[in-house]
Amino acid sequence: MALYTDGKVAFVSSDTAEARAARDMFAARFGDCGIDNASIIVALGGDGLMLETLHRVMDRGIPVYGMNFGSVGFLMNEFSPDALDVRLRASMPTTIHPLKMRVTTADGAVSEALALNEVSLYRSSYQAAKIEIRIDGDLRLEELICDGVIVATPAGSTAYNLSAHGPILPITAPLLALTPISPFRPRRWRGAILSNRAHLAFSTLEPKKRPLSAVADNVEFEHVLKVEVHEDRLHSVTLLFDPGHSLDERVLIEQFRY
Cα-based angle 2, 8, 14 (whole degrees, multiple of 5):
105
| Alpha-carbon gap, residue 91 to 57, rounded angstroms | 18
Whether 47 is catalytic: yes
Active-site entry in 15, 36, 47, 82:
47
| Alpha helix stretches (DSSP H) within the chain | 17-30, 47-56, 84-90, 160-163, 247-254
Q: Which amino acid is at 138?
A: D
Measured in whole angstroms, how far is the alpha carbon of residue 145 from the centre of its chain? Answer: 25
The β-bridge relationship of strands 175-181 and 192-195 is: antiparallel
- Proportion of the chain in helix, strand, coil states, percent, rounded to 5: 20, 40, 45
Q: 214: burial class by Cβ within 10 Å (0-12, 13-18, 19+)? A: buried
Backbone φ and ψ of 86, nearest 5°:
-65, -45
Contacts of 81 (CB under 8 A, 6+ apart): 22, 25
| Spatial distance between the Cα atoms of 42 and 206, rounded to a whole number of angstroms | 46
DSSP string, 116-141: SSEEEEEE-SSSPEEEEEEETTEEEE
Which residues participate in catalysis according to the annotation?
A: 47
